[in-house]
């Protein structure tokens, strides 16, 4: 499974990348043979102004099936509550 993770307007730390890779690997490993690639986009829309501005886009590209797309907007990133260091 090919995994493409990108962050916009904030640094993509090794800890955050590892957190995403572990969780997606665990969640999707049973269907790995049906998945062509997974695209993850994280964006900080408002920058340092704060607010509900952390945008998450997940796209799973499947073989012979429509893509699965999940999007969400939050005030912070999930890893900040999962005990994952930010650096």
Would you write out the chain's pLDDT as a tens digit for each of its 87 residues? Answer: 799 999 988 888 898 899 999 999 999 988 888 999 999 999 988 766 666 678 899 999 999 999 999 999 887 765 554 444 444
**C-beta separation of 44 from 53 below 8 A:** yes
Please report which helix (H) or strand (E) contains residue 8, including its range: strand 2-8
Q: Which architecture, in CATH terms, is 2-78? A: 2-Layer Sandwich (3.30)
**C-beta separation of 57 from 69 below 8 A:** yes
Phi, psi of 24 (to 5 degrees): -70, -40
Q: Which two tokens stand for residue 73?
A: 């907007």
**C-beta separation of 3 from 72 below 8 A:** no
């Amino acid at each position: 499974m090919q995994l493409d993770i990108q962050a916009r307007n904030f640094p993509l730390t090794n800890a955050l990348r590892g957190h995403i890779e572990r969780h997606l690997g665990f969640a999707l490993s049973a269907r790995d043979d049906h998945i062509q690639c997974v695209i993850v986009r994280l964006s900080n829309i408002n920058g340092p102004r704060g607010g509900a501005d952390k945008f998450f886009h997940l796209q799973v590209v499947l073989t012979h099936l429509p893509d699965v797309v999940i999007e969400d907007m939050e005030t912070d990133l999930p890893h900040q509550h999962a005990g994952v260091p930010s650096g």
